[in-house]
Amino acid sequence: MKLHSLFLPAALAVALATLPASAAEPDAANLSAKELAGRLNALRQDGNSLVRLRLEVKQPPDTTRTALQIQIKERRTRAGGEAVYQVLWPKERKGEAVLLRAGSGRAPSGSIYVPPGKPKPLGAAQMTEGLFGSDLAYQDVIENFFAWDNQTITGTEVINRVSCLVLESKPGKDDRSIYGSVRSWIDPRRLVPLRVEKYSSSGRKLRTIETTRVATDDRGRPVPANLTVHGPRADSVTELDGSRIKHDVNFADREFSAEGLTELSAAKPAAE
């Protein structure tokens, strides 16, 4: 918001790695694929942020099976990113947490914590698993495919009455991903992805992320406000709806450690 993303007042600034916040650029329709991806990649490197998020898993799609309130802490720079997702509600799941890390040339990794146990490591082989049982994979949360070497504009298509550029991203030899390619439908005026489709190396579609509402973040930039995620399960859908985002937040290094997952702490705004 992100993902952010990850990706907002009354909306979601997605801190997911799939869906970045952006500033409006009226000339984006004339950019090359590398330039467009580069601009989206730069927008992902927005420092420290704190997000509140409601996540609902519906199985079947019209029946809510899981509803969680989540706090997201993120640190993103050119070198990579770190994200901590912590469950605030309901009471019986409060404190469940996930730490994810990614960087250039390194496979994503992290830790998971389910009280009252101890944090356990997450490796590259587990990146396909669902975040808190949702249709969103761990890889989706931390991955920034706009930073991949191979970028191509394959055409244009109208999404929700918006003429979008279709950007296809493929990992290079130094990129580590569970996906073989990603297609993004980019609104060239607001630089917001309105749809993202992720494919296996064999070309099978594994995941679709739709932006259903766009809002403005605390820096005055257009961001995805509500998302719908369809994954490999045909009878399941995940809906994401945020309440707020705050940038320039102070985090202690411990908050991005396995030990720090066991602690629910409120982040503080950076001193002016």
pLDDT per residue over 1-54, tens digit each? Answer: 343 433 333 223 333 434 444 444 445 778 999 999 999 998 888 889 999 999
What is the tens place of the pLDDT at every residue in 232-260?
999 999 999 976 788 899 999 999 999 99
| 267 — pLDDT class (breaks 50, 70, 90) | low
Strand, helix or coil for residue 217:
coil
- Going from the C-alpha of 32 to that of each of 35, 153, 165, 211, 244, the distances in angstroms are 5, 8, 11, 23, 33
CATH topology of domain 28-265: outer membrane lipoprotein receptor (LolB), chain A (2.50.20)
pLDDT at 13: 35
pLDDT at 270 over 80: no
Distance CA 58, CA 43 (A): 31
**Quick check: 165 pLDDT over 60?**
yes
**Residue 44: per-residue pLDDT:** 82
Residue with token string 């994401």: 240
- C-beta separation of 31 from 49 below 8 A: no
The tens digit of pLDDT for each residue in 105-164 reads 778 899 999 999 999 999 888 999 999 999 999 999 999 999 999 999 999 999 999 999
* Cα distance between residue 76 and residue 68, in whole Å: 24
Average pLDDT for 192-211: 97
DSSP conformational letter for 134? S
CA–centroid distance for 168 within its chain:
17
- For residue 272, pLDDT over 80 is answered with no
In the chain, domain spans: 28-265
- Given a cut of 60, is residue 271 above it in pLDDT? no
Residue 126, beta-bridge partner list: none
Q: What is the pTM of this model?
A: 0.87
